[in-house]
Amino acid sequence: MRKIGYLSILMVVLFIGCSSSNSDKGSGSSAVTTAAATGDETSTGGTAKPEHLTKETFMEKVMNYEKNPQQWVFEGDKPAIVDFYADWCRPCRMISPIMEELAVEYQGKVNFYKVDTEAEKELAAVFGITSLPTVLFIPVTGNPSAQQGAMPKESYKQVIDQFLLSKPVAN
C-alpha cells in the first residue's frame, strides 16, 4: 500500500510541472539546448521543428501585445501552439520531443513555437506564466487556451484536433 502511495506522489510531481523558481537551474542538459547550440531550431527552413521565438518574432507571428494591449489579436494565418519552457525544467524537457513529433505530424496545419522564459522574461510576464511548462493553444479565430504542466502526446493531439483544427458548426 505504501508503494502505491509513493508511486502516486511521484506521478503527481512529474505531471504537475515545475514551479517558476529557478532553483533547478543548470541541472542537466536538454534537447532544446542542443538545438539552440546547433542553430537547428526553426521550422521556417523546411524542417518541422518548433520555431524559437523572441519578443520581436512573437509580436510578428503570434500577437503584437504592444499594438493591441487590451484584446487578443492573432497575427498568424493557421493555428499555433506556443510552448513556454525553461532549460532547467524537467517536465519541459519531457514534452520537448513530443512537441517535435507533433510538429512533424501537423506540419502545414499548425505552427509550433517555443519561448524560453529565461531569455524572454517580458513575454513570460505579459502572459502571466507562473508554471512551466505552459502550452498556449491558439486557434485562428477566437481566444487561446493555456495548459500548465506536461501531458501525454495523445492529450496534446486531442486538443489540437478538437480545439485547433475542428470546423465550427454553422447555425
Question: pLDDT tens across 19-59, in order?
Answer: 433 333 333 333 332 333 333 433 344 457 999 999 999 99
Q: Is 18 a catalytic residue?
A: no
Q: What is the pTM of this model?
A: 0.72
Mean pLDDT (the chain) is 78
Q: Is 89 a catalytic residue?
A: yes
CA dihedral 103, 108, 111, 112 (to 10 degrees): 10
Catalytic residue among 80, 82, 86, 89: 89
Catalytic residue among 18, 92, 129, 160: 92
Q: Comparing C-alpha atoms, which of 126, 112, 165 is closest to residue 142? A: 165
What's the CATH number for 2-164? 3.40.30.10
DSSP 140: S
User: Domain extents for the chain?
Assistant: 2-164
Provide the pLDDT confidence category of residue 166 given band limits of 50, 70 and 90.
confident
Q: Which residues pair with 52 in a beta bridge?
A: 114
Return the top range by mean pLDDT from 10-19, 28-37, 130-139.
130-139
Quick one: what percent of the chain has pLDDT higher than 90? 66
Query: What does the block give as the cell for 79?
Result: 493555428
Query: Between 6 and 64, whose confidence is greater?
Result: 64
Return the top range by mean pLDDT from 3-7, 48-52, 134-138.
134-138
CB 24 within 8 A of CB 88: yes
Is the confidence at residue 170, as pLDDT, over 50?
yes
Q: Are strands 80-85 and 111-116 parallel, antiparallel or unpaired?
A: parallel
Is the confidence at residue 11, as pLDDT, over 50?
no
Is the confidence at residue 104, as pLDDT, over 50?
yes
